[in-house]
Amino acid sequence: MPAAFVTHADCLKHEMGAHHPERPARLTAIEDQLIASGIGQYLARHDAPLATDEQLARVHPIEYLRAIRDAAPEAGTVHLDPDTAMNPFTLQAALRAAGAAVFATDLVLSGQAETAFCSVRPPGHHACRARPMGFCIFNNVAVAARHAVEAHGIERVAIVDFDVHHGNGTEDIFENDAHVLMASTFQHPFYPYSGTEDPAPNMVNIPLAAGAGSKQFRDAVRGKWMPALEGFKPELILFSAGFDAHMEDEMAMLRFTDADYAWVTGQVKHIAGRYAGGRMVSLLEGGYALSALGRSAVQHIRVLAGLNG
């Protein structure tokens, strides 16, 4: 059963300015490396549908959805915060990104795919219940998790976030939610300066100091993530897959390598195999050094799809 690869051309039309790091070329870099690696041909490609208001409203208040629609410009660019802007195509792209999360979850939970990767933008893990932030408008991984619980009756969803920035929006949405365990590593102190102040019991937050690399990351995963995931016994695992902790990414100061992304995916895959029937859905978050992003995403997808052996 091939792994699903969910994306949409609308996600290439969202632009926030000529020099903004969260740019369309990020998705092109992943596509280029899929071709160069030879694994693209083994994935089942799907176009992302548009998320519905019903799907989004499980996470975001309907007033917030209306405010985002009202803010969408017919021309030019509108800033929602200093880092996050909308052009005339952004709303459609954001609806595709959240729709990909729902669609991929449906594919995996219906048995049409065992795993799925969503190559979409804008990313999502900084989007809080009613606040866009940090390049994010809708919280894609949260939309997927709530869909799994409310539409499919899943009792335990694990969210694994290895982006260099703390997924503050995801924590805002799910703290003290018994259906969700979130395990994350992130550089600290660093934007968005959260994740260390008395986290809820279902938040396994592991801050890493600037300069931390493979050893510190792998120690955190082995020592903290894996015992928590084993105890939680997730029925579905979602990834907030940000690749900006890579040593080549100049926006941050962690020093992960391509191989770290393959390794951590393999570790989590063991948990998925034991408790979740192998079911995993991954959503693209950060990663701004294009070559490193493409290579690292392919390492992640290769293991996710079982193409590493």
Distance CA 37, CA 265 (A): 18
Cβ burial 285-296 (10 Å sphere, 16+ → b, else e): bbbbbbebbbbb
Terminal C-alpha separation, the chain: 15
Question: CA 230 from chain center: how many Å?
Answer: 21
Distance CA 39, CA 200 (A): 39
* Alpha-carbon dihedral sign for residues 297, 142, 73, 85: negative
Those residues with Cβ within 8 angstroms of residue 275's Cβ, 6 or more apart along the chain or in another chain: 233, 234, 235
Catalytic one of 8, 60, 126, 166: 126
Distance CA 9, CA 274 (A): 36
What phi-psi label fits residue 66: left (phi over 0), alpha (psi between -120 and 50 degrees) or beta?
A: alpha
Decide if 79 is catalytic: no
- Whether residue 194 contacts residue 187, with contact meaning beta carbons closer than 8 Å, is answered with no
| Max CA distance (Å), the chain | 50
Distance CA 1, CA 251 (A): 37
- Whether residue 182 contacts residue 228, with contact meaning beta carbons closer than 8 Å, is answered with no
Just list the catalytic residues: 126
